[in-house]
């Protein structure tokens, strides 16, 4: 039988999409005499605009929300630190700084990391699609390499993007867009072990996007299983070597590996296993949302839109758990609109069996993304937090 906490301290680990929603409602915790603390080592970086930021279309300030004013304006507390462990018996979160933070209810919304496929070795110098902040570093590195004073040789900069799902295609297209905006040459290669790009999507979508990227001079290698990502290129399982200056891994997302150290039950893919109430199946005082959880009975894609839909349920349930009230259930949406940014003002919108490719899709994406960010922007000017 699960016991329920009746008051005290709620700790939010990670300023992910769902916790932004909870943090923006800190006042309702305060009104009930419940303390609310948000911990994050960084800021909220919005993946919706991430590849547009990489492509030079959006400035980083637009893609980043400082969670501190959001939670503090409602009477909550922000701690810039990283959670590294949990002492569930004593109800304490262990922080990277060495501090211990007591909680009555704790919630994880710590996102995901790029999965390294089994059998692939990856050099430290390789770039990854996540964390999103890293895409800003990648942009700066490309801009520096493309600048006339960089001291690079005369050949085009060579970028190898490994993985041709939504993220790989977006990154390849936006690296090309970035170089174009600087009137510089880049040679982008998209490599996948699948028989076609966007293999999860319909054959028609795949064909149209492959035509689009090839039309921009991006090379596409299908049925190519990369086994080694080195400092100067990639090797495939049939012994081919593709030379490159920048190697970028976009091989899918998985929950962070360190969750396994928390002593909580995990789902098959390594996320915190939660019930429909978003409460851990193994600890009634632990909740979670977003990419870092596995929801019993579902296999949800790693998309921010799910964390956004989980947010109101998480908010209600954290308040309820801390007040001894009944919890409500989250029911995942059957389908969601996804819009890819394919650079140079082109978007690909997909809704179930329907899709559109072109500027209208990009226009819609821009509007939706800006509207989402505006919800949390108040009090945050997007500049680098202290
Ligand atoms: C390039 C790219 C583009 C994408 N585009 C889209 C898109 O257009 N639409 C979409 O729906 N999805 C998109 N995704 C997927 C999306 O990134 C994830 O699904 C989404 O970010 C998950 O959100 P979240 O709320 O779970 O966590 P996140 O938004 O990733 O937030 C996690 C937070 O936890 C913090 N954190 C991590 N570890 C700790 C710790 N130990 N202690 C404290 N805090 C911690 C991090 O600093 C971060 O602030 C994209 C992914 C990539 C890589």
pLDDT 10s digits, 300-354: 999 999 999 999 999 999 999 999 899 999 999 888 999 999 999 999 999 999 9
Residue that wins the pLDDT comparison between 110 and 382: 110
| Predicted local confidence at residue 214, as pLDDT | 97
Q: Give me ligand 1 centre to Cα 330, in Å.
A: 20
Are residues 184 and 242 located together in one domain of the fold?
Answer: yes
Assess if residue 366 is contained within a domain. Answer: no
Angle, helices 203-215 vs 166-181, to 10°: value is 20
How confident is the model at residue 154, as a pLDDT? 67
Residues 197 and 213 both lie in one domain: yes
From ligand 1's centre to the CA of 348, what distance in Å? 21
> Once rounded to an integer, what is the mean pLDDT over residues 167-187?
96
Residue 156 has what pLDDT? 87
Are 246 and 277 contained in the same domain? no
Same domain (yes/no): 260, 284: yes
Give CA separation, 158 vs 166, 233, 234, in Å: 21, 9, 12
pLDDT at 153: 66
| Three-class secondary structure of residue 286 per DSSP | strand
In ligand 1, the atom with minimum distance to the C-alpha of 339 is 8
Is residue 341 within 8 Å of 174, Cβ to Cβ?
yes
- Pocket around ligand 1 at a 6 A CB cut-off: 13-18, 39-42, 44, 47-48, 50-51, 82-83, 109-111, 129-130, 167, 290-292, 302-305, 307
In the reported structure, the alpha carbon of residue 309 is separated from the centroid of ligand 1 by a whole-number distance in angstroms of 14
Residue 218 lies in a domain: yes
Q: How far is the CA of 15 from the centre of ligand 1 (A)?
A: 9
For 277-299, what is each residue's pLDDT tens digit?
999 999 999 999 999 999 999 99
Question: How does pLDDT run across 15-43, given as a tens digit for each residue?
Answer: 999 999 999 999 999 999 999 999 999 99
Whether residues 180 and 300 fall in one domain: no
Q: Quick one: 195 and 300 in the same domain?
A: no
Give yes or no: residues 131 and 190 share one domain. Answer: yes
Nearest residue to 48 (alpha-carbon basis) of 358, 357, 347:
347
Whether 216 and 301 share a structural domain: no
Residues 32 and 146 in one domain: no
Mean pLDDT over 173-202 rounds to: 96
Interstrand relation of 9-13 and 105-108 (parallel, antiparallel or unpaired): parallel
Give the separation between CA 91 and CA 82, rounded to whole angstroms: 17
Instruction: Report how far ligand 1's centroid is from the alpha carbon of 173 (Å).
Output: 21
Indicate whether 34 and 95 sit together in one domain: yes
Which 3 state secondary structure label does DSSP give 187?
strand
Closest CA to 114 of 180, 163, 79, 45: 163
Decide if pLDDT at 76 tops 70.
yes
At residue 3, does pLDDT exceed 80? no
The pLDDT confidence band at residue 2, using thresholds 50, 70 and 90, is: very low
Which tens digit of pLDDT belongs to each residue from 102-121?
A: 999 999 999 999 999 999 99
Which of 22, 47, 57 has the most ligand 1 atoms within 8 A of CB, as the residue to mutate?
47
* Phi, psi dihedral angles at 43 (to 5 degrees): -130, 180
Is the pLDDT assigned to residue 6 strictly greater than 60? no
* This prediction's pTM: 0.94
Query: What does residue 247 show for φ and ψ, rounded to 5 degrees?
Result: -115, 125
- Determine which residue's CA is closest to atom 4 belonging to ligand 1: 47
Ligand 1 atom nearest 253 alpha carbon:
53
| Per-residue pLDDT at 221 exceeds 50 | yes
Average pLDDT, rounded, for the chain: 93
Report pLDDT for 155: 77
Q: Which CATH number belongs to the domain containing residue 204 in this structure?
A: 3.50.50.60
Report yes or no on 56 lying in a domain: no
Its domain, for residue 92, covers: 9-41+80-112+255-334
Confirm if 68 and 20 have CB atoms less than 8 A apart: no
Among 213, 234, 251, which residue terminates a domain? 251
Q: Are residues 238 and 315 in the same domain?
A: no
Per the DSSP assignment, residues forming a β-bridge with 101 are 93
User: Domain count of the chain?
Assistant: 2
Of the residues 19, 22, 40, which should be mutated to test ligand 1's pocket, given the most ligand atoms within 8 Å of the CB?
40
- Asked whether residue 14 is domain-assigned, the answer is yes
**pLDDT above 70: percentage of residues in the chain:** 95
Give the contacts of 1 (CB within 8 A, at least 6 positions apart): none
Q: From CA 76, how far away is CA 60, in angstroms rounded?
A: 26
Three-state SS for 66?
coil
Mean pLDDT, residues 121-150 taken together: 94
263 shares a domain with 234: no
Identify the domain boundary among 251, 284, 317.
251
Among candidate residues 166, 157, 155, the one with its CA nearest the CA of residue 189: 157
Residue 194 lies in a domain: yes
The residue-averaged pLDDT of 243-251 equals 97
Atom number of ligand 1 nearest to Cα 42: 47
User: Ligand 1, closest atom to CA 290?
Assistant: 26
Domain assignment of residue 383, yes or no: no
Note the pLDDT of residue 75: 96
17 CA distance to ligand 1 middle (Å): 8
374 located within any domain: no
| Ligand 1 centroid – CA 47 distance (Å) | 7
Q: Please identify, among 190, 225, 251, the residue that sits at the C-terminal boundary of a domain.
A: 251
């Amino acid at each position: 039988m699960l016991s329920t906490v009746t008051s005290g301290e709620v700790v939010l680990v990670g300023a992910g999409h769902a916790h932004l929603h909870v943090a923006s409602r800190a006042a309702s915790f305060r009104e009930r005499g419940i303390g609310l603390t948000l911990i994050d080592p960084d800021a909220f970086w919005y993946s919706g605009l991430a590849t547009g930021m990489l492509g030079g279309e959006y400035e980083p300030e637009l893609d980043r929300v400082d969670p501190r004013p959001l939670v503090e304006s409602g009477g909550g507390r922000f701690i810039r630190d990283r959670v590294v462990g949990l002492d569930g018996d004593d109800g304490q979160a262990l922080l990277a700084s060495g501090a211990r933070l007591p909680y009555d209810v704790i919630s994880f919304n710590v996102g995901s990391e790029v999965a390294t496929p089994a059998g692939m070795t990856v050099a430290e110098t390789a770039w990854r699609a996540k964390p999103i902040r890293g895409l800003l570093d990648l942009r700066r590195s490309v801009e520096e390499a493309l600048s006339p004073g960089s001291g690079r040789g005369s050949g085009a900069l060579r970028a190898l993007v490994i993985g041709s799902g939504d993220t790989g295609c977006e990154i390849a297209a936006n690296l090309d867009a970035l170089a174009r905006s600087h009137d510089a040459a880049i040679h982008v290669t998209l490599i996948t072990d699948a028989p076609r790009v966007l293999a999860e999507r319909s054959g028609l979508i795949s064909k149209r996007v492959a035509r689009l990227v090839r039309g921009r001079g991006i090379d596409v290698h299908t049925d190519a299983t990369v086994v080694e990502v080195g400092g100067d290129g990639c090797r495939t399982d049939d012994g081919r070597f593709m030379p490159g200056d920048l190697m970028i891994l976009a091989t899918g997302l998985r929950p962070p590996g360190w969750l396994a150290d928390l002593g909580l039950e995990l789902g098959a893919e390594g996320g915190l296993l939660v019930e429909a109430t978003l409460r851990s199946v193994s600890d009634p005082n632990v909740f979670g949302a977003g990419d870092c959880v596995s929801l019993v009975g579902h296999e949800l894609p790693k998309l921010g839109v799910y964390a956004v839909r989980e947010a109101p349920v998480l908010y209600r349930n954290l308040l309820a758990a801390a007040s001894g009230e009944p919890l409500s259930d989250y029911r995942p949406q059957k389908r969601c609109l996804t819009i890819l940014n394919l650079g140079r003002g082109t978007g690909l919108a997909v809704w179930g069996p329907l899709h559109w490719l072109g500027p209208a899709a990009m226009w819609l994406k821009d509007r939706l993304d800006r509207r989402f960010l505006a919800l949390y922007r108040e009090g945050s000017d997007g500049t680098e937090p202290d």
